[in-house]
Amino acid sequence: MPKLIIPDLFLLLLLPFFSTNNVQATTSPADISALKAFKASIKPSSILPWSCLASWNFNTDPCAFPRRTHFTCGLTCSADSTRITQLVLDPAGYSGTLTPLISRLSHLTTLDLSDNSFYGAIPPSISSLFNLQTLTLRSNSFSGAVPASITALKSLQSLDISHNSLTGLLPNSMNSLSNLRRLDLSFNKLSGSLTKLPPNLLELALKHNSLSGSLSKSSFDGLSQLEVVELSENAFTGTLQGWFFLLPSLQQVDLANNSLTRIEVWKPADSGSNLVAVDLGFNRIEGYLPVNFASHPLLSSLSLRYNRLRGTIPMEYSKTKFLKRLFLDGNFLIGKPPTGLFTGGTSVSGSLGDNCLQGCPASSQLCAPSQKPNAICKQAYGGKGKPRS
């Protein structure tokens, strides 16, 4: 019996040595060639010694373990160590282009190159990453159009290419991204109108572009799960129609700094409304303050500052339970503001200043800055404006 035990024990002691130092290559050759091309398209001078890419030494298999000196970060492999499933770079200032051969990483579920200095076009071949669920290219210098082929990524759930230099129109077939939940193309140079949006979006962010035209119901048709809309700092025009605020899951709206001229606000149905925050400041909205904003029971923040609104502040605004922030400054509102905004233990913050109001308590921060000069108010109302008291 001892003669059998000693050799077996000896082999067991040697097993760790062989498993860590003589690992056979397991990663798919297609994946390895794609990784080599990916690294080769990045300027060597931007690969710092402590960065993830500096550890990518192809004398070692990318998916081999343990990763003590090579491929220490940036990659995740499949359970069987044969395919690359995630490529997440550190924000080390890498500078280069995104190689079209990235398409060979066909099992990739996450591609994140955010907060670096990639430039050039996003290769159309990215459409071959049919397993991709998260694509994050935020805060780089990518230019050119959003490739239409990106809409072929049917598994995509999150798309973030914000803070780049993309130009041109949004792809017409964006609505074919049926699994997309989050879309952020903010801080680019995109133009044209809003296309029909993906049907299962939760968050839409396209702020700080050059998008124009009116907001059409057809673009938002069927978006029953949409919660957040951030479209500020564009060039949208026309009327924001009543259907918009009745999108069933809508919570936050930011359309500030556009060129909207009118808004319609309908009362929500008996099922209620989830609307919490609305920012329509710095547009060109004319007419009267929509009283039906007060019918949205959860609304806590409302900004219509610096528009061209006239008339009085609806009494209903002072009776809503949750309204805590109210910015109506920079309009041509007249009359006496509802006393309920200043009394009854309410804690409404914001501003009613720079209007034509009468009797706005100087002791209240809500009334700062001061009201417009009487001459300007009279001119705005065709010489019929009443002097402020």
- pLDDT at residue 68 in the model: 74
| pLDDT tens per residue, range 267-314 | 998 878 999 999 999 999 999 999 999 999 999 999 999 999 999 999
Residue 57 has pLDDT above 90, yes or no: yes
Q: Are 159 and 135 in contact (CB under 8 A)?
A: yes
Residue 102 has pLDDT above 90, yes or no: yes
- pLDDT at residue 49 in the model: 95
- pLDDT at residue 344 in the model: 62
Residue 13 has pLDDT above 70, yes or no: no
- pLDDT at residue 69 in the model: 80
- pLDDT at residue 90 in the model: 97
- pLDDT at residue 18 in the model: 37
Mean pLDDT (the chain) is: 91
- pLDDT at residue 109 in the model: 98
Q: Compute the half-sphere exposure of residue 352: CA atoms within 13 Å on the CB side of its CA.
A: 30
Amino acid at site 108: L
Residue 325 has pLDDT above 90, yes or no: yes
- pLDDT at residue 65 in the model: 81
Both tokens assigned to 270: 């008996």
| pLDDT tens per residue, range 228-262 | 999 999 999 999 999 999 999 999 999 999 999 99
Residue 21 has pLDDT above 50, yes or no: no
Give the range among 7-11, 66-70, 317-321 with minimum mean pLDDT: 7-11
Residue 385 has pLDDT above 80, yes or no: no
Q: How confident is the model at residue 24 (pLDDT cuts 50, 70, 90)?
A: low
Residue 25 has pLDDT above 80, yes or no: no
- pLDDT at residue 157 in the model: 98
Instruction: Give the pLDDT mean for 180-187.
Output: 98
Q: How confident is the model at residue 345 (pLDDT cuts 50, 70, 90)?
A: low
Instruction: Give the pLDDT mean for 136-156.
Output: 97
Strands 75-77 and 84-88, by their bridges, are antiparallel
- pLDDT at residue 218 in the model: 97
- pLDDT at residue 78 in the model: 94
- pLDDT at residue 347 in the model: 77
- pLDDT at residue 320 in the model: 87
- pLDDT at residue 362 in the model: 85
Instruction: Give the pLDDT mean for 14-30.
Output: 57
Instruction: Give the pLDDT mean for 153-182.
Output: 97
Instruction: Give the pLDDT mean for 149-170.
Output: 97
- pLDDT at residue 6 in the model: 41
- pLDDT at residue 145 in the model: 97
Instruction: Give the pLDDT mean for 19-28.
Output: 59
Between residues 196 and 4, the one the model is more confident about: 196
Instruction: Give the pLDDT mean for 12-20.
Output: 39
